[in-house]
Amino acid sequence: MAQKIDIDVVVETFARMTYEQRDEFVKKLVSKWPHMAQSIGNCIQLEQMVQDTMEGFNAQD
């Protein structure tokens, strides 16, 4: 059974990382799990586009 992970804690951890820590994290993730790193990057980019589109729709109201 998979361990439950508190996503809010994970997001806050990333937000509090220094540039150097984020850089090290990215390099390690890409080195160990390149396909997952690519997938996460794609998901982030897609979510940003969705949110930008929704903001545009909301601004028209």
Please give the pLDDT value at position 57: 78
* Regions of the chain where pLDDT drops below 70: 61
Does residue 13 lie in a domain region?
yes
Does residue 54 lie in a domain region?
yes
First to last CA, the chain: 45
Domain span holding position 27: 7-59
Burial of 45 (0-12, 13-18, 19+ CB in 10 A): exposed
Please give the pLDDT value at position 12: 98
Please give the pLDDT value at position 61: 62
- Which pTM does this prediction carry? 0.78
User: How many structural domains is the chain composed of?
Assistant: 1
Does residue 28 lie in a domain region?
yes
Does residue 21 lie in a domain region?
yes
Does residue 1 lie in a domain region?
no
Does residue 32 lie in a domain region?
yes
